[in-house]
Amino acid sequence: MRGYVKRVTQKAEKLSKEQILSLLETMVDENESLYSVLESLSTGLLIIDNNFKLLRFNTIVESWLPFSERLEDIQGNENPVWEYIEDEDIAAFLKKCMENNITNSSEDFSIVTSGGSVRFLTITISPLVNDGELNGKVILVRDITEKRNQDVLLHRMENLANLTNLAAGMAHEIKNPLGAISIHIQLIQKALEKARENEDKLPAKKFVEDHIDVVNEEIEHLNKLVMDFLLAVRPIKAQLELKDPDKLINGLVEFFKPEFNKSGIKVEFHESGSGKKIMLDEKLFRDVIMNISQNALAALKTKYQGQEGGLFTISDKIEGNKFILTIADNGCGMSEETLAKIFEPYYTTKANGTGLGMTMVYKIVKEFSGEIFVDSKEGEGTVFAISFPIPQKDAKLLQ
Ligand SMILES: Nc1ncnc2c1ncn2[C@@H]1O[C@H](COP(=O)(O)OP(=O)(O)OP(=O)(O)O)[C@@H](O)[C@H]1O
Ligand SMILES: [Mg+2]
């Protein structure tokens, strides 16, 4: 139809009055149908010309984006469209994309509506191409609030399922130490009864002390279980701050290095040296590194048993918008079964382990929308690769 109208208008001077009227009618019809298509879209639309002026829009966009004036009044105005948007982040995003001619770019934003609820929007900038030429931009605004809420709900349900597993695991884990405590107390009781029968002579001091030692050990084990359980189930409250990760890792390495060196294990830290700061929670970041390094220390001690040759390495780098941490040890490594179960709550191969350390690490990394990968070969060693996205703009909203 567009081609037809164009061809006919080029010969406008040769057309009769009736023909011109009919052409006008066709154009009005076409315009109306285009208008109704725009209005029936569930995506908000702003069409901008090369001078960033608003050419066209649909009504829905007006209820989603906060404009300082009615769009009808902005249409055709000289000022660039972002100047009428009352959200600083969105205005800055549009300005940056338009002025630098960035197209096919998308970003998520959150807006507090006048009613006080939060709305999540995805804004996409696409090129407006006409006759093969770039004539402006199309700004598409999609409301992703419902999807976002569903994601949060799913996330919560996943957490609840994890919690159920964790509670079941905890109940199971508690049984053994409780059983042991009960047996040792019974033994002491029996000895006391026997002593009473034998004219109040007390049982041997060493006998009682040995049993009490076991009871104390088991109580300590229970205590660790409960503490770790609480850590694992407590929702993670992140205190995000702009920090230099190299500086934090350096501090941690200095802290645990003596313990490694004492067992003849070398520690190396290859820092990115970028000096770039990223948004992170210092305490949670510390938990991740400490859990992994303590496991590495145990694996290295198992393999080298005080002999030289053990090496623990931490390297970090910034790649695009990701902070990547690699932590490696050349310790005893893991069997395929352990590798498959390493993040499962209560999975441990250690006599006194709770098996919650790596569960915590996994939880923290996921909470920050990060990824964690582990590779290990029995007898050779283990490598963890962890990536955190930067900046974590949305993390604040999901807390
Ligand atoms: N670097 C590593 N090398 C070899 N095995 C590892 C390493 N890291 C973890 N593992 C294995 O994964 C298991 C689970 O680790 P996790 O930290 O969750 O629990 P744990 O260390 O056993 O207990 P806890 O952390 O409470 O002391 C460990 O028991 C161990 O078998
Ligand atoms: Mg551990």
Mean pLDDT along residues 84-108: 90
Comparison of pLDDT for 131 and 383, the residue scoring more? 383
pLDDT at 394 over 60: no
- Taking the CA of residue 358 as reference, the ligand 1 atom at the shortest distance is 18
Ligand 1 within 6 A of CB of 358:
yes
Angle subtended at Cα 232 by Cα 323 and Cα 281, rounded to the nearest 5 degrees? 35
pLDDT at 398 over 50: no
Distance CA(16)–CA(11), nearest Å, equals 11
Looking at residue 45, its pLDDT comes to 93
- How many angstroms separate the alpha carbon of residue 155 from the centre of ligand 2? 25
Comparison of pLDDT for 151 and 335, the residue scoring more? 335
- Taking the CA of residue 354 as reference, the ligand 1 atom at the shortest distance is 26
Which H/E stretch holds residue 64? helix 59-64
Range from 12-21, 185-194, 227-236 carrying the lowest mean pLDDT? 227-236
Comparison of pLDDT for 48 and 159, the residue scoring more? 48
Confidence of residue 14 (pLDDT cuts 50, 70, 90): confident
What would the pLDDT profile of 339-352 be if each residue is shown by its tens digit? 988 988 888 999 88
Confidence of residue 253 (pLDDT cuts 50, 70, 90): very high
Looking at the CA of 332, name the nearest ligand. 1
pLDDT at 2 over 80: no
Range from 9-13, 60-64, 193-197 carrying the lowest mean pLDDT? 9-13
Mean pLDDT along residues 119-133: 87
Mutate to test the pocket of ligand 1, among 358, 361, 363, 380 (most ligand atoms within 8 A of CB): 358
- How many angstroms separate the alpha carbon of residue 137 from the centre of ligand 2? 53
Mean pLDDT, the chain, whole residue set = 85
Ligand 1 within 6 A of CB of 349:
yes
Looking at the CA of 298, name the nearest ligand. 1
pLDDT at 391 over 60: no
CB atoms within 10 A of CB 258: 9
Distance CA(93)–CA(95), nearest Å, equals 6
Ligand 1 within 6 A of CB of 334:
yes
Mean pLDDT along residues 59-85: 89
Ligand 1 within 6 A of CB of 357:
yes
Confidence of residue 184 (pLDDT cuts 50, 70, 90): very high
pLDDT at 321 over 50: yes
Cα–Cα distances in Å, from 229 out to 163, 295, 362? 10, 18, 14
pLDDT at 254 over 90: yes
Comparison of pLDDT for 17 and 200, the residue scoring more? 17
Ligand 1 within 6 A of CB of 245:
no
Looking at the CA of 227, name the nearest ligand. 1
Looking at residue 3, its pLDDT comes to 64
Range from 54-58, 226-230, 292-296, 329-333 carrying the lowest mean pLDDT? 226-230
- How many angstroms separate the alpha carbon of residue 123 from the centre of ligand 2? 43
- How many angstroms separate the alpha carbon of residue 299 from the centre of ligand 2? 10
pLDDT at 292 over 90: yes
Ligand 1 within 6 A of CB of 347:
yes
Residue among 392, 303, 367, 354 at smallest CA distance from 155? 367
% of the chain at pLDDT higher than 70? 92
pTM score > 0.85 for this model? no
Ligand 1 within 6 A of CB of 365:
no
Phi-psi region of 364 (alpha: psi -120 to 50; beta: other; left: phi over 0): alpha
Highest mean pLDDT among 150-159, 362-371, 390-399: 362-371
Ligand 1 within 6 A of CB of 123:
no
Residue among 279, 208, 219, 289 at smallest CA distance from 256? 289
Which H/E stretch holds residue 88? helix 88-99
Ligand 1 within 6 A of CB of 300:
no
Looking at residue 320, its pLDDT comes to 77
Looking at residue 23, its pLDDT comes to 80
Mean pLDDT along residues 272-284: 83
Distance CA(365)–CA(246), nearest Å, equals 18
Ligand 1 within 6 A of CB of 295:
yes
Mean pLDDT along residues 307-320: 92
What would the pLDDT profile of 141-182 be if each residue is shown by its tens digit? 999 888 877 776 776 677 667 777 778 788 888 888 899 999
- Alpha helix ranges (H) inside 234-332: 245-262, 282-304
